[in-house]
């Protein structure tokens, strides 16, 4: 991995994204957040380590080695490693990094950070599945609402409403996902719809789970509906969160827009209940 100088030249001011990330990390464990470039000593170049998103999207060898690592893990766990299962894991895992960072800061802080590939890095777990377990934000800039305590700082861009902030999160995430789809589609046999389905899933799930982690699942569901209110291109659907019954009790679930291909492993379980291979599309929302 190419070692980059941090874009941060000084400690960020009070009420900045550093403070926000500290608060968010104390509340949730979906994925650890970090502010600033990891120390050069942690940039080993191995798959299980730190990766700059911009490097992953411009260097095919990084994705290739990540696939190899996932195939090795699948063989160790299941005795086989279908290419589509490995590729399905990578597409979902990568997209979770910008989606989770954006969702957590939006839900808990009503802030939208930069989600550009140049401004993000992620760490692949050193044990177990080779999936991201930490995402780092490298830029101090963010958008916020007028009543944000840091609204008047030089790093902040103020937008007028929650709806505008949600639209900005959607747009910034979509811009990053567009780069991923362009980079990932050539080496794998996934169509554009399948990749954008994975991008839709990652954002919808991240917003839902952000609320659930904080003890207010309904608020997470409301955020998902705010960010994905309809099928807005290039996303493949509105939020698919809906209620169902579990042992007679109402609970939230969602229909997936993409398949993880885990069913290809010889475990006899088939596709999961919420997989688009088994579950019909939801009816369009009524306005």
What are the tens digits of pLDDT across the range 179-227? 999 999 887 888 899 999 999 999 999 999 999 998 999 999 999 999 9
For the chain, what are the domain ranges?
A: 17-229+236-264
Mention the CATH class of domain 17-229+236-264.
Answer: mainly alpha
Q: What whole-number distance in Å separates Cα of residue 138 and Cα of residue 136?
A: 6
Q: Please check the confidence at residue 13 and state whether its pLDDT lies above 70.
A: no
Q: Measure the CA angle with vertex 34, ends 28 and 35; round to 5°.
A: 130
- Are the beta carbons of 176 and 115 closer than 8 angstroms? yes
The structure's pTM equals 0.89
Q: Which helix (H) or strand (E) holds 281?
A: none
- The tens digit of pLDDT for each residue in 67-108 reads 999 999 999 998 998 898 999 999 999 999 999 999 999 999
């Amino acid at each position: 991995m190419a070692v980059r100088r941090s874009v941060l030249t000084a400690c960020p001011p009070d009420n900045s994204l550093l403070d926000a990330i500290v608060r968010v990390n104390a509340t949730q464990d979906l994925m650890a957040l970090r502010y600033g470039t990891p120390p050069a000593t942690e940039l080993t170049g191995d798959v299980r380590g730190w990766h700059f998103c911009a490097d992953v999207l411009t260097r095919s060898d990084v994705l290739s080695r990540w696939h190899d690592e996932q195939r090795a893990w699948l063989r160790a766990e299941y005795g086989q490693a279908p290419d589509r299962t490995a590729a399905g894991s990578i597409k979902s895992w990568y997209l979770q990094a910008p989606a989770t960072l954006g969702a957590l800061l939006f839900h808990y802080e009503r802030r939208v950070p930069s989600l550009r590939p140049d401004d993000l890095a992620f760490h692949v777990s050193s044990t177990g599945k080779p999936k991201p377990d930490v995402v780092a934000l490298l830029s101090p800039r963010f958008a916020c609402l007028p009543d944000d305590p840091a609204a008047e700082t030089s790093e902040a861009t103020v937008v007028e409403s929650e709806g505008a902030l949600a639209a900005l999160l959607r747009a910034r995430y979509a811009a990053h996902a567009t780069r991923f789809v362009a980079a990932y589609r050539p080496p794998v046999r996934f169509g554009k719809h399948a990749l954008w389905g994975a991008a839709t899933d990652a954002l919808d799930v991240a917003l839902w789970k952000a609320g659930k982690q904080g003890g207010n699942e309904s608020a997470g569901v409301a955020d998902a509906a705010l960010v994905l209110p309809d099928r807005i291109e290039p996303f493949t659907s509105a939020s698919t969160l809906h209620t169902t019954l579990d042992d007679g009790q109402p609970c939230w679930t969602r229909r997936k827009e993409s398949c993880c291909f885990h069913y290809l492993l010889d475990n006899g379980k088939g596709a999961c209940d919420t997989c688009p291979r088994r579950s019909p599309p939801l009816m369009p929302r009524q306005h």
